[in-house]
Amino acid sequence: MNRRGWGLLIAGTLLVGGALIGAVGADRFAPSDPEAIRLADALLSPSAEHWMGTDQLGRDLFSRMLHGARVSMRVGVGAIGIATAVGLLIGGLAGLLGGRWDGWIMRLTDVMLCFPTIFLILAAVAFLDNSEWNIILIIGLTGWMGVARLTRAEVLSLREREFILAARAAGAGPARILFRHLIPNALGPVIVSAALGVGTAILIESGLSFLGLGIQPPTPSWGNILTEGKETLGAAWWLTLFPGLAIFFVVLGCNLLGEGLRRRWRSS
Amino acid sequence: MTPPLLEAAGLSRRYPVRSHPLGPVTGWIDAVREVDLALSAGETVGLVGESGCGKSTLARILAGLIPPSAGTVRFEGTALFQLDPAGRRRFRRTVQIIFQDPFTTLDPLMTIGQSVAEPLAIHRIGNRRERGERTRQLLGEVGLPPEWSGRFPDTLSGGQRQRVGIARALALNPRLLICDEAVSALDLSVQAQILALLNDLREKRGLALLFISHDLGVVGAIADRIGVMAEGRIVECQPNPALFEAPRHPAARRLVELALEGA
Ligand SMILES: Nc1ncnc2c1ncn2[C@@H]1O[C@H](COP(=O)(O)OP(=O)(O)O)[C@@H](O)[C@H]1O
Ligand SMILES: [Mg+2]
């Protein structure tokens, strides 16, 4: 792999890794309780005491951002975990079974793909209560189609690759073909798409929370911090700048990581 | 008389045609039609025909990779589908195949050493160290530096990858090597090198070759006997130089003209 590929991988790992460390260590790193209201300290600009300033209710923004990272990371990783597992299963089955099964399974996938995902999610959120687990489930169950198509295409094209035929000509059985050749070769693109997907899921959660349909206050999430910040946009820039930047950099990090992994995979 | 190494009788293979994967079968493609062919030990048989005439399908049936729709392939006199597990293993070790596309012939995630050693691992031949030793020996035999064993395929040129494919096919000491357009994707000078390697292996190992190409010029450079395929059938079969002088079937005449133009 060339220097550029390594650069992407390292930059992506730093950005995503930073957010992960912040999320995991939120309790330890946060200077104060993210939900502790101190009206006397409302809307303080960033300072040595409050690195990212405070919000309308005097809560420390840095603490809220760390706890919000937890929500973003859990939703991003959880939803994509579900989407990837479902997509691998459905796409792998379609590719392996082939013929009519393949036709029916992929027709179902295309039908799902035809619904604009965001409306599906909005409709589902309207009926269910918006707990974090429900949001993970909804984003995951509306996001598997890409992985399914990818896996199917991988399995179908791999099945015809000459190295598979060569292994069969040497006497390899189905288990060896599956575990030594098909799965390792199909996994690369799937992991790449999962890394990209985490970014998308984080963006969807932020969007939902921004619309008031996601994580409910007072629990902080980057999306709902942004919503609250927008009311005081003229007076307190930090309330929109920091969550905006956090979302931007983490999604960017996921994309860099995905692209770096893609190059890494292609070159080995 | 001992039976030929590999003998095909009345081989056909058809594929259903559907307008879409869920649609009804609207027709059939006869990729291979009633082909008879015998390959004896040590002999090099060429097979030419335009692209799409069924050469690869025939090669894959002969290598036991896909079943025929009709007809039988006999290995040392026994039909393939009647072989017991031991016979099947012996068939796998005796008949090997190399392919056209140097970019998909090797698993990109395996080192070339792992690829070459895979047939040995499948047949549980030797321990890890012995397989490594044998792999380096095979790489040497196909003209690659043995210390490249740990490299990944993406660091090799097309011609070098084809050499790795040949080394892998030789790992089980086969007696017949089916070469399906083995040099077609390569530059002319590299083609000549790979042909020279195959010729060399044929002499040193007494290997029989079924050498398949759409280019009669290439086949003429190596084969003792040449079969011409058209629309799934073998329409003509003649000893090597004779075919160039007196092709009978129109398809054969066309291929001879093309080959002479190219030369
Ligand atoms: N798996 C398949 N399904 C449907 N049709 C096939 C399949 N494999 C080959 N064919 C058809 O059979 C014919 C012969 O193909 P092939 O054996 O690859 O020819 P060649 O190797 O001479 O170019 C072609 O018309 C091709 O489209
Ligand atoms: Mg072909």
Residue B202 has pLDDT above 70, yes or no: yes
What is the number of other CB atoms lying within 10 angstroms of the CB of residue B74? 18
Of A103, A165, A180, the CB nearest to B99: A165
Residue with tokens 């996001």: A143
CA B15 / ligand 1 centre spacing (Å): 8
Residues facing B16 on adjacent strands? B28
| CB-based contact B89:B66 (threshold 8 Å) | no
- Alpha helices (H) in A211-237, listed in sequence order: 222-230
ipTM above 0.90, yes or no: yes
Please tell me the distance from the alpha carbon of residue B10 to that of residue B32, in angstroms, as a whole number. 10
Taking a C-beta distance cutoff of 8 angstroms, is the pair B2, B75 a contact? no
pLDDT for position A120: 84
SS3 B54: coil
Give the nearest ligand 1 atom to B51 CA. 23
A55 contacts A42 by C-beta, under 8 angstroms: yes
Give the angle subtended at the CA of A74 by the CAs of A77 and A146, to the nearest 5°: 30
* Fold of domain A3-25+61-267: MetI-like fold (1.10.3720)
Give the mutation target among B29, B35, B228, B231 for probing the ligand 1 site: most ligand atoms within 8 A of CB: B29
Mean pLDDT of chain A: 88
As a whole number of angstroms, the distance between CA A10 and CA A6 comes to 6
Q: Is a pLDDT exceeding 80 seen at residue A69? A: yes
Which pLDDT tens digit goes with each residue over A228-256? 888 888 889 999 999 999 999 999 999 99
A87 contacts: CB under 8 Å, gap ≥ 6:
A144, A145, A146, A147, A148, A150, A151, A190
Residue A106: both structure tokens together: 């992929």
B179 three-state secondary structure: strand
B177, B98 contact by CB (below 8 A): yes
The domain segmentation of chain A, as residue ranges, is 3-25+61-267
For residue B49 and ligand 1, the question of a CB distance below 6 A is answered with: yes
Question: What is the reported pTM?
Answer: 0.75
Structure tokens at A104: 């029916």
Q: From residue B159, give the alpha-carbon distance in Å to each of B101, B155, B192.
A: 10, 12, 10
Pairing outcome for strands B233-239 and B208-213: unpaired
User: What is the number of the ligand 1 atom nearest to the C-alpha of B214?
Assistant: 22
Range with the poorest average pLDDT among A184-188, B6-10, B167-171, B199-203: A184-188
Contacts for B23 with CB less than 8 Å, ≥ 6 apart: none
Q: Is the CB of B69 under 6 A from ligand 1?
A: no
Matching residue, tokens 């990944």: B152
Q: pLDDT (tens digit, 9 = 90+) per residue, B41-70?
A: 999 999 999 999 999 999 999 999 999 999
**Interchain CB distance below 8 Å, A166 and B97:** yes
In chain B, the N- to C-terminal Cα span, in Å, equals 40
Alpha helices in A98-221 (DSSP H): 99-114, 117-127, 132-141, 145-159, 162-169, 174-176, 183-210
Q: Which residue in B19, B107, B177 has the most chain A C-beta atoms within 10 A of its own C-beta, making it the best mutation to test that interface?
A: B107
Residue A110: count of CB within 10 angstroms of its CB: 11
Please tell me the predicted confidence (pLDDT) of residue B83: 92
pLDDT of B263 strictly over 70: no
CA–CA separation, A147 vs A170, rounded Å? 32
Q: What is the dihedral of CA A108, A110, A112, A115, to 10 degrees?
A: -150
Question: Could you read off the pLDDT of A168-177 as tens digits, one per residue?
Answer: 999 998 888 8
Tell me what pLDDT residue A131 has: 85
Query: What is the distance between the alpha carbons of residues A246 and A122, in angstroms, rounded to a whole number?
Result: 24
Dihedral sign for Cα atoms in the order B229, B234, B239, B243: negative
Chain A residues within 8 A of B99 when measuring between CB atoms: 162, 165-166
> Is residue B29 classed as helix, strand or coil in its secondary structure?
strand
Half-sphere exposure in the Cβ direction for A89 (13 Å, CA): 8
Closest CA to B123 of B88, B157, B82: B88
If pLDDT is split at 50, 70 and 90, which confidence band does A115 have? confident
Q: Which ligand 1 atom sits closest to the C-alpha of B54?
A: 17
The letter for the amino acid at B43 is E
Length of chain A: 268
**Cβ of A100 under 8 Å from any chain B Cβ?**
yes
Whether B97 sits inside 8 A of A267 (CB atoms) is: no
Those residues whose C-beta lies under 8 Å from the C-beta of residue A89, and which sit 6 or more positions away, are none
